[in-house]
Amino acid sequence: MSGFIEKVLALHNWWNGVNKVKASITKSSQPTRFGVLSAAAINPAAIFDPIATHPDAVVSAIAARDVRRAEAQIAKYRLKNVTAYGSYDQLLADPDIDAVYIPLPNGLHYEWTIKALEAGKHVLIEKPIASNTREAAQIRDTAERTGNVALEAFHWRFHPAAHYVKELVDSGTYGALKSVAVKFHLTAGFFPKDDIRFQYRLGGGSCMDLTYVFSASSYFSSAGENTAVEVLRTEPRISKTDTKIDEAMKSTFTLTNPGKPAVTCNVDAELALPNLFGIIPRFWAGLPTATIELEKAQIQYNNFPAPWAKHSITIRERDGKGDLTGKKEARTCYKGGPEWGKIGEKWWTTYRYQLEAFIARTRESKALNPAEGVEGGTQAPGGGSVKHKSGLSGGLWMTMGESIGVMSVIDAVYRKAGLPCRGED
C-alpha cells in the first residue's frame, strides 16, 4: 500500500506544484531533528515529504537492522546531511536527535516507543500505537513521566475535512448522533501472503492494520479512555495460514460516554477482499467511507483516510418520519475548517497537517521547560510566525486517552471474536 500511496503523492505534488515549494523552503536555525527507526516503505509519504515543506523540521538519521537499507533509502530520496545507523539503539543514543518516527511492524511499536521516550526523545508512532490497551496506557504513563510528547500517527485526524465533519455532527443542526458505520476494503493481492500484516507475532490482522475504522468510529462518537464499550457482534474471516490472524473483521459495538446515549458503530475491515469468481479483483468495492446517521440527516465522508487526494462530504436530509429525502448536498474541505483557521494550504496532505501539530506540540513542551531553549510556535511556508491554539485542543491533537480508547475497542472486538489480543501470549 505504501508504494501505491507514494505514486498518488507524486501525482498530487506535481499537480499542485509542491516541488517548487520544497525548493523554496529555508530551514530555521533550530529545526526539530528527526530520527527514523526503520527504512520502511511508508517513510517517503509519511515523514520525508511533509518534512520537506516544513521550515522547522529536518530528517537527521535513519536506522535499519542492516545499515545498507538505511543508506539505500537516503540515496534514493536524495536526503542531505542524514546519518545511516545499523541499529535502532545507535540512533536513540544520538544526542542530536530530538524526535523519533517509528514505522516499525505493529508488534514492535511499544518496545521502541518506550525506549525512545526513556532516551529523551519525542515520538511519532505509526498506528496502531501498541499491540493492546495495556501497552498503550504504559506509553501514556512513560510520556507523562519523562515529559516527552507521544503521538499516534492517525494522520487523517489532522485534516480540515475530518474537523468539518465532526463539527457538523456535534453542532446539533441535524439532531442527535445515532450510529457510525465505517468500511475500509483492500483487494486480495494488495499485500503478499507473507506480509507482516498477516503475522500474529508482529501484531498483524485487519483490526490492527486497518485501525482507521475504529479510529473514525471513536472520533465521530467522541469516544475516549472512559467510554464504555459493548461488542454486540463480530464476524471475522480467519487466515488459512494463521488461525490467530483476522484477514477481515466485521463488528457491531456500542460506545457510551457518561451521561450520553449509546452510539451504535458498525465496522468492516478487509485486508484481502476475495476476488470475484476467484480471479477478478473487486476494485469497485469503493473508497474507505464513514457513514454517520443523525436524527435529521445522513453524512457520508468518502476517502476519509486520504482526503488530500480527493474526498467528498455528502449530506442527505431526513423528513419528519426519519426517512432520507432526495435532498442532498456535496461539500469538501481542503483548508481551514473549524480547527486550523488560516494555517495550512490546500495541497497539504494529512501527514503534513499532522507534522504541523506535532512540531507545535513539541515546541510548546519545550517552551514549558526554558532549559530546552526553544520557543513555541512554528513558521508557515509563506514566512512569518503562526500560533496554534493553547494546548492544541480539539481536532488539532489526538490525546493519548483517545489512543487508549481506540485500542480498548480493538481488544474488546478480538475477545468477542474468540481471538487473542495482540501481544498477550
State how far the Cα of 175 lies from the Cα of 169, in Å rounded to an integer: 8
Does 128 sit behind a cis peptide bond, omega within 30 degrees of 0 on the bond before it?
Answer: yes
Catalytic residue flag (residue 127): yes
The C-alpha cell that represents 281 in the structure block: 479483483
Helices 212-220 and 160-170, packing angle to 10 deg:
40
In whole angstroms, how large is the CA radius of gyration of the chain?
21
> Which is it for strands 99-102 and 122-125: parallel, antiparallel or unpaired?
parallel
Q: Which residues fall within 8 angstroms of residue 338, CB to CB, at 6 or more apart?
A: 163, 164, 166, 167, 394, 395
Left if phi > 0, otherwise alpha if psi is -120 to 50, otherwise beta: which for 37?
beta
State how far the Cα of 286 lies from the Cα of 138, in Å rounded to an integer: 37
Q: Which of 27, 76, 115, 127 is catalytic?
A: 127
> Which is it for strands 150-152 and 122-125: parallel, antiparallel or unpaired?
parallel
State how far the Cα of 416 lies from the Cα of 232, in Å rounded to an integer: 8
Angstrom CA distances, 305 to 5, 87, 240, 341, stand at 11, 32, 29, 21
Q: Which residues fall within 8 angstroms of residue 218, CB to CB, at 6 or more apart?
A: 224, 227, 255, 402, 405, 406, 409
Q: Which residues fall within 8 angstroms of residue 420, CB to CB, at 6 or more apart?
A: 200, 244, 414
Residues 398, 230 contacting (CB under 8 angstroms): no
**Nearest of 62, 69, 48, 67 to residue 92 by alpha carbon:** 62
* Residue 134: other Cβ atoms inside 10 A: 16
Query: What are the catalytic residues?
Result: 127
